Structures are given as C-alpha cells and as structure tokens.
Amino acid sequence: MKVIALVENTRLPGRDDLASEHGLSLCIFTNEQQILFDTGASGVFHSNAQKLDVDTAQANLAVISHHHFDHGGGLASFFEANRQAKVYLRTSGTEDFYFEFFGLIKRRIGLDKNLFQQQAHRFAWVNQSYEIAPGIFILTEIGKQHPHPKGNRHLFAGAGRSRQRDDFEHELILVVRGDAGLTVFSGCSHHGVLNMLDAVLEHFSGQTIQALFGGFHLIDLPMINNMAGSRAEVEELGRALLNYPIDKIYTGHCTGTKAYRILKRVMGAKLEYFATGCTTEL
C-alpha cells in the first residue's frame, strides 16, 4: 500500500511547487484500488496531484470523512476530473454546519449543498458499517468511552432554532485490511481518536493496526494555531496512544503543529507528521 498526502496545512520542505491549505486529502493505492480520502478545502488537491504524478481520474473510490468543507470542499473539482468513482459519505440529519467562536466569529463550514442534487448519482450514502470493496471498510459505530476533543465546542449543526452542538454522527472511519494488518484513516477524529481506535479494534477483534492516518482535532482556532486543551492533556493522549497496538501513526491538519510537537516528545519515532507531498509505503 502507498499513501500520498495531496494536501494538508503545511508542505514537505523543498516542495515549493506544491500548495497547502487548511484541509486534508490523501490518495491511497492498494493492489486493486486507488482511493481518494477527502478532497481538502478546494481544488488544490487536484493540482498538487498532477505534480505528484497522481491521476485523480483513475480513482476507483472516494470517501469523505465528514461533512466539513476542509475535507469535502474539493468535491466539485473531483467530479470534473473523475467521471466514474462513487463518493462514499455518511448520511446526516442536516446539511448546515457552522463554526462559531463566542459570537465573535461565525461562518458556514458545510459542504456545497448544490452538489447533492447536481451529482446525486455519484454519492453513495452510508448509514451503517460495511465492506464497500474487497478489504475496504467504512465504520460508523463509534463509542463515547473517551472524551471528545475540546475544539468541538465551536462546531454546530442545524439551522435556525434547531441549531445545536455538532454530535458528529456524520463522521466515519475508513479501514483498509491487508496482509500486514489494518490501516485506519480518520479525517479529524471529532469523536476522539481513542474512541475511533476502539471502534476499529472492536470491529476487527484480535487484529493489529499497521498504521493510522488522520488529524486529532487538538487545535482550537485554526487561524492562530492554538491548542484547545492543555499541554498535560495532550501528553496524556500521547501516552494513551502508545498503549494501542499500532505500528505507526501519521498525523497533521487539525492536530496542529503545537500539539504535534508535544505528542512527538511523548511518542518518539512512533509518530510522524504527514504534510502535503509526503509519501509512505506500508
């Protein structure tokens, strides 16, 4: 398996030809599939893909981790480039999602609702865990044993009087099962990365995780890159992750660079930052 970061908040040193943005998009190559996991906030993922020798027109499947623009904002560009791949997205009770910061900042952060009508034939809506292709799984049942990230406090769903704190029932986990174990992909881990890992290990009882890719949503305000929790809380998360049967963890995006540096000191070589242009083979 090969995984390439088509876009992330930062870029690989020496790759000034690549653009970065607050978003995430990964391309996953298995022996039989080319999977696009998230599309970033815009069409940047597609222009970067061309420079990374990735042909997005050849993707067999696309999976959107949740209904926020920084993970599905590039869908229109994907539909222009790719004419056949189904886009797997979890069903949601609303199409309206917002970021609010104590009444000072308020913005809509959902996906382009027009695409749901214009490209209705391309979407495959998911409301339960199942195998979408041989060895490729989407999981939707995620528990709440561990706390959710504190950064979730600024995120809301619904319109008008029905607006409430987002419960992230529109979030999913992608799992690829191979000979060497499971590889897990989580866009932002709004349910909490530990809850998401528990869901994977419960579904695939007795198996180990070869690698985990995704953000942990430890950032509070993306524009200033501050942490939502304390240093002690981030260190505690790092120690907890070390207790899971995972060979390697690749993170970035909403983890934030400040929290990443703290996690790195705790987790050492087990943790790596996965910036735009990074490639790894498993």
Determine the pLDDT at residue 106.
87
Helix (H, G, I), strand (E, B) or coil at 243: coil
Q: Which range in 98-107, 155-164, 273-282 is most confidently predicted, on average pLDDT? A: 273-282
pLDDT cut 70: percent of the chain above it: 100
CA-nearest of 237, 242, 225 to 262 is: 237
Helix axes 257-267, 231-242, angle to 10 degrees: 50
Determine the pLDDT at residue 226.
86
Average pLDDT over residues 237-249: 98
Is pLDDT at 130 greater than 80 in this prediction? yes
Determine the pLDDT at residue 160.
79
Determine the pLDDT at residue 136.
98
Q: Read out DSSP for 72-106?
A: HTTHHHHHHH-SS-EEEEE--S-S-EEEEETTTEE
pLDDT digits (tens, 9 = 90+) for 36-83: 999 999 999 999 999 999 999 999 999 999 999 999 999 999 999 999
Which residues have a Cβ under 8 Å from the Cβ of 111 and sit 6 or more positions away? 64, 67, 68, 69, 72, 73, 75, 95
Average pLDDT over residues 158-179: 92
How many domains would you assign to the chain?
1
Structure-block tokens of residue 82: 């790719």
pLDDT digits (tens, 9 = 90+) for 196-215: 999 999 999 999 999 999 99
CA separation for the pair 253, 276 (Å, rounded)? 10
Lowest mean pLDDT among 104-113, 138-147, 251-260: 104-113
**Burial environment of residue 72 by CB neighbours within 10 A (0 to 12, 13 to 18, 19 or more):** buried
Strand runs labelled E in 68-216: 86-90, 97-101, 105-108, 123-126, 130-133, 136-139, 155-157, 164-165, 173-178, 181-186, 209-214
- The parent domain of residue 98 ranges over 2-281
Is pLDDT at 27 greater than 90 in this prediction? yes
Q: Which residues of 34-52 are buried (b: 16+ CB within 10 A; e: fewer)?
A: bbbbbbbbbbbbbbbbeeb
Determine the pLDDT at residue 102.
74
Do the strands 86-90 and 155-157 form a parallel or antiparallel pair, or are they unpaired?
unpaired
CA-nearest of 66, 73, 210, 83 to 140 is: 66
pTM listed for this prediction: 0.97
CATH code, domain carrying 144: 3.60.15.10
- State the residue for tokens 């009444």: 103
CA separation for the pair 146, 152 (Å, rounded)? 14
Give how far the C-alpha of residue 254 lies from the chain's centroid of Cα atoms, to the nearest Å: 9
